[in-house]
Structure 1
Amino acid sequence: MERRQFLRNSAITGAAFAFSGAKGWAKSADAHIDILIDEPKGEISPNIYGQFTEHIGGVIYDGVWVGEKSKIPNRYGIRSELIDKMKQIHVPIIRWPGGCFADSYDWKDGIGPASKRPRRTNFWEGDHDAIRLHEKGPQIFEPNEFGTDEFMRFCRLTQAQPYLAANLRSLPALDLDHWVEYCNSPAGSTTLADVRASGGFPEPFNVRYWGIGNESWGCGGNFTPEEYASEFRRYTTWIPGYGLDLQLIGSGPNDNDIDWTHRFFEQIYSDHAYHNRSFTGWSVHHYASDLSRGRISKGDRKGDALQFDSVDWYELLRQCDLTEQIIQDQWTAMGQYDTDHHVKLVVDEYGPWYREGTELDPTHIFGQQITMRDALATALTLDIFNRHSEKVSIATCAQLINNLNALFLAHEDRFFATPNFHVFAMYAAHQGGEALRTVFSAPDVRYMRDGKSAQFWGLNGSASRKGQVVTLTIVNPDLSKATETQIALGGARIIRADGTVLAAADMHAHNTFDRPNAVTTANLAVAINGEQLSVTLPPASVTKLTVTLG
């Protein structure tokens, strides 16, 4: 494995350290960051920092839900450690129950007494990869122990808003109306409100965010855009509101399928125009995989979560960085029909996706280890959302626990936070802040890919402001060079500057049950030079600066 000896061992375990030209470091040419504090771009929606939970593998069972009778510390059956950690990073919104699981889920199976709920075949039981994994362990069918009531309690315990994905593939539109009624009708007003009350929730859940189907181009019905537009009209033409400002989210394209978006919006905004102010979101999914060096020709479309080299590192980050182009292209396509941009983008599935083999338990379908590479991939994606705060209203990381790009990994009574958790903790300060236009100037990183020269940007990030406090987050993707950086804030008087960094001596570094703090944050020295800041950003790092202005 490649190693870069630029940090002391104590730094890797979280001890405070200062990067200020330590002996033996390789230094790049100077980099400059200009934060234009007089050029705000709009508020960064807290909902950009959402999470996604699906009934797949170990996400719900063995992850979120341990059961009320479990010896594992829990609150109403929900893992206590998970609740506490989620509150630390202020998770604003959680998407549930899928994903593709939602496309075959009947919400009525998950209400009422748990002992009387039906057991069903989970959507993912028919997936070939899932079957291959299950040859190593027991199959997991859906017991429906965790349903709407349990999810709502999970949201309340973590102080997050619920975002429900409705089944458009296999349930009629009336079932969506009834699910809204179950969740939102006033106490005692309807039969479904009485059913909700019998489960311990007399007051309504007040769910505002509703996804109308999921991946309707694939597992959600294999529709054409025109067919989905017709179904979308039918499912959303009348939904009981109960005084709430419902936010309806359409099932948009996979990656940057501009044709799907054009054809859907053309159908919706045709002569038979669709007038529904509750249609406020257009979902986009983008997963990143390392496809470098002939892997496709060998039949292996995805790289490994732990076994990768420097080329794989940069190629994975490059795939994640495509999110910016997707946002720009989709926004342009939508604006040709929705000229006032009433509908915003919702990136409700994103993150790296690797081949199987690093899951903690055979039942954790699509479970994977999370390294420093994933931390940088997640950070640069969050920075993209911040930079496009006027376009993106919601984003949910796929997924919260025991799956792709997870913030947490758990099995039975053992639990730890991954490097991604630390990224979300560092970036939480952006929530609700005013995005500021920020210019990054740094030499590109150069490397060889398949015998040809390739390059990737040298520094990037985002900035926001709340009152007199500016938060700047920076990703340095360079595996070999620390970057001495000058930061200007438009002539503002700087009173104080504090730094936090996430870095490790090994690009493969990750946390485990035995070493849960192998990768964690540490303090970073920041020098104030009049109206500027000076900081040395370590290689392969994520940095947060908190700057107090006078």
Structure 2
Amino acid sequence: MSLFHERAMGRRGYTRRAFLGSAVTGAVFALLRPSRFDRHRAALWGAPSAVDSRIEVLLNEPIARIAPEIYGHFIEHLGGVIYDGVWVGEDSRIPNIGGIRKALVEAMREIKPGVVRWPGGCFADAYDWRDGIGPREKRPRRTNFWVDNREWRDVGIVPQRYEPNHFGTHEFIRFCRLIGAQPYIAANVRTLPASVFHQWIEYCNSPAGSTTWADVRAAHGDREPFNVRYWGVGNESWGCGGNFTPEEYAAEFRRFTTWAVPDYGVGLRFIAAGPSGRDLEWTRRFFAKIAERRAFDRLWGWALHHYSSFSGGEAINYDATGWYELLQSADRMESLITAHWQVMGEMDRERRVRLVVDEWGAWYRMTTNIHPTHLFGQQSTIRDAVVAGLTLDTFNRHADKVGMANIAQLINCLHSLFLAHEEKFVRTPTYYVFAMYADHQEGQAVRAIFSAPRVSWTDRANRPQFFWGLNGSASVKGNIVTLTVTNPHLSEARETEILVRGATIASARATILTARSMHECNTFEQPQLVVPREEEITVRTPVMVYAFPPASVVKLRLVLS
């Protein structure tokens, strides 16, 4: 999480620093019969009278395996994320598993989370991990990094402002194990020495009985090592993580990672704090220093942050221009990936370093907090679901470049999958996108060609703007193709021919996420307003046609004969 970003929004809107496989044997088409639901949508929105779009899935053009870590998450000690979100306490009346919210655990298991990043964010570079171990009643209380935020000044002495350290390393590892995710820990580079970082790795990974830190870990309830592979060396080191220059941070990264850190048989993967948005100079200058000292052997990932925004800045109250502005901002992710990847390759010619987009999502200036302590809390509508879909599709299309991604944040903050307060708990539309896209994990991404009429709209300066009409991604596991597609148009369905080159489709099934209006969202009172529906598709030859509803995210599961 970026303090720079939060401050910049107050000055001039959403500005961050420089913000931003076989030969073809034939093609078989099938006719997808519109359901009653789609006919109802057509009555509401209108639909084209004939085929106007086309998707070709190219089985003989593989990209790369889609890493499960691309479907990652992020929890920071910020607002209601940890306290009132993940952690409710062992003595809480809220159903919990060792203090962790049970409903959250159950929902996360369903979407197969690849990895979870913790404890920050800007909080990470003010955090001493030693405060979060041992008996909870004896852990020190500390002032939270975010305590002075202007939105919080009247909420009093609460855990969100004055950190009780009840959720520390053991609790985080337990949460990851409960939901089946890899842990990704962000270390403090700004205020702690490298030796404390090395001790944290030793505490987590040294074999039982091998060192004093291993004995301390056992005394605190976990004899066996945690085997944490992913370690972030600082966070946003150009800003809240130390205000370094790229050259200064490169020296810090080498000091924290070179020679002194045993691997413990885990296969450690260190992730460096990369740029905000399109700051290509940060990437170029850091990589130049790493190349100069031949230090690529310890650098696995390069962290990129990109938040989507629009001029209106509100989560719920927006017009059509606000809809398209946000999607356009989110779509910049593709150019950011390709631009930074090109710069990285100038010095990393062997392509040893992966891109890690460990903060992404929509960030609105006007928040819609569920509770005053939920700093940066915002509601999530069908618009946010479309942003999530188009972003995950972007990562899939660049599976050869992106090794991990983490939406910000999991619960009660920014682009959340869940909202919670005390006993209340709801899944947002974005959650259902992750559920739909889970089938991509471990699949072989293949190239797909999308052709559709462009969306035209007018921005607030009365200038014409254009946006693609359909986009998505495809992956293959065995004889199953998972094809995910977003239709950004607010009022037009896209009647689309779908071809799978090199195979015949034996059967198909659709999962559809859309809404009755562009503002629709799930609330505690109405938790299922925006949920996906499924339908079997009758496959007919020789032409396969499917009508993608307006403002929708759709998954097609195609079984090949």
TM-score class, shorter: over 0.9
Q: Tell me the equivalent position of 1:92.
A: 114
Whole-Å separation in 2 of the counterparts to 1:66 and 1:136: 17
Whole-Å separation in 2 of the counterparts to 1:378 and 1:196: 38
Q: Tell me the equivalent position of 1:398.
A: 408
Unmatched runs of 5 consecutive residues or more in structure 1: 1-14, 292-301
1:34 to 36, 56, 59: 56
Q: Tell me the equivalent position of 1:244.
A: 266
Letter in 2 for 1:310: A
Q: Tell me the equivalent position of 2:558.
A: 547
Provide Cα deviations, 1:234-272, integer angstroms capped at 9, x if missing partner.
0001212111210000000001100000000011111x3
Rate the CA distance shift 1:235–1:491 in 2: closer, same or farther, 3 A.
closer
Whole-Å separation in 2 of the counterparts to 1:126 and 1:424: 34
Instruction: Choose 49-58 or 445-454, whichever is displaced more.
Output: 445-454
Q: Tell me the equivalent position of 1:281.
A: 301
Provide Cα deviations, 1:327-353, integer angstroms capped at 9, x if missing partner.
000000000000011000000000000
CA contact (8 A) 1:528 1:534 kept: no
CA contact (8 A) 1:306 1:371 kept: yes
Q: Does 1:201 align with 2:222?
A: yes
Q: Tell me the equivalent position of 2:372.
A: 362
Q: Does 1:372 align with 2:382?
A: yes
CA contact (8 A) 2:80 2:160 kept: no
The Cα of 1:273 is off from its aligned counterpart by 2.4
Q: Tell me the equivalent position of 2:325.
A: 315
Whole-Å separation in 1 of the counterparts to 2:397 and 2:443: 12
Whole-Å separation in 2 of the counterparts to 1:41 and 1:34: 15
The Cα of 1:531 is off from its aligned counterpart by 5.6
Q: Does 1:472 align with 2:494?
A: no
2:37 to 17, 38, 60: 17
Rate the CA distance shift 1:20–1:390 in 2: closer, same or farther, 3 A.
farther
Give the number of aligned pairs. 523
CA-based RMSD: 1.7
Rate the CA distance shift 1:545–1:136 in 2: closer, same or farther, 3 A.
farther
Whole-Å separation in 2 of the counterparts to 1:21 and 1:538: 7
The Cα of 1:192 is off from its aligned counterpart by 1.0
CA contact (8 A) 2:83 2:159 kept: no
1:504 to 486, 509, 515: 515
Q: Tell me the equivalent position of 1:9.
A: none
Instruction: Choose 386-395 or 20-29, whichever is displaced more.
Output: 20-29
Q: Tell me the equivalent position of 2:494.
A: 483
Provide Cα deviations, 1:307-363, integer angstroms capped at 9, x if missing partner.
100000000000000000000000000000000110000000000001244110000
Provide Cα deviations, 1:207-256, integer angstroms capped at 9, x if missing partner.
00000000000000000000000100100012121112100000000011
Provide Cα deviations, 1:133-191, integer angstroms capped at 9, x if missing partner.
74899963100000000000001111111000000000000001000000001111111
Q: Tell me the equivalent position of 2:437.
A: 427
Letter in 2 for 1:284: L
CA contact (8 A) 1:18 1:523 kept: no
The Cα of 1:274 is off from its aligned counterpart by 1.8
TM-score between both structures, scaled by the size of structure 1? 0.92
1:222 to 240, 243, 247: 243
Unmatched runs of 5 consecutive residues or more in structure 2: 1-34
CA contact (8 A) 1:17 1:522 kept: no
Within a 5 Å distance, the mapping from 1:64-79 to structure 2 comes to 64-79=86-101
Rate the CA distance shift 1:525–1:541 in 2: closer, same or farther, 3 A.
farther
Q: Tell me the equivalent position of 2:129.
A: 107
CA contact (8 A) 1:30 1:485 kept: yes
Letter in 2 for 1:519: V
CA contact (8 A) 2:296 2:352 kept: no
Q: Tell me the equivalent position of 2:282.
A: 260
CA contact (8 A) 1:17 1:525 kept: no
Q: Tell me the equivalent position of 1:116.
A: 138
Whole-Å separation in 2 of the counterparts to 1:177 and 1:363: 34
Whole-Å separation in 1 of the counterparts to 2:157 and 2:327: 32
Letter in 2 for 1:148: T
Rate the CA distance shift 1:212–1:24 in 2: closer, same or farther, 3 A.
closer
Within a 5 Å distance, the mapping from 1:131-142 to structure 2 comes to 131=153, 134=155, 140-142=161-163
The Cα of 1:20 is off from its aligned counterpart by 9.2
CA contact (8 A) 1:19 1:538 kept: no
Whole-Å separation in 1 of the counterparts to 2:369 and 2:166: 23
Letter in 2 for 1:188: G
Rate the CA distance shift 1:504–1:89 in 2: closer, same or farther, 3 A.
same
Q: Does 1:410 align with 2:416?
A: no
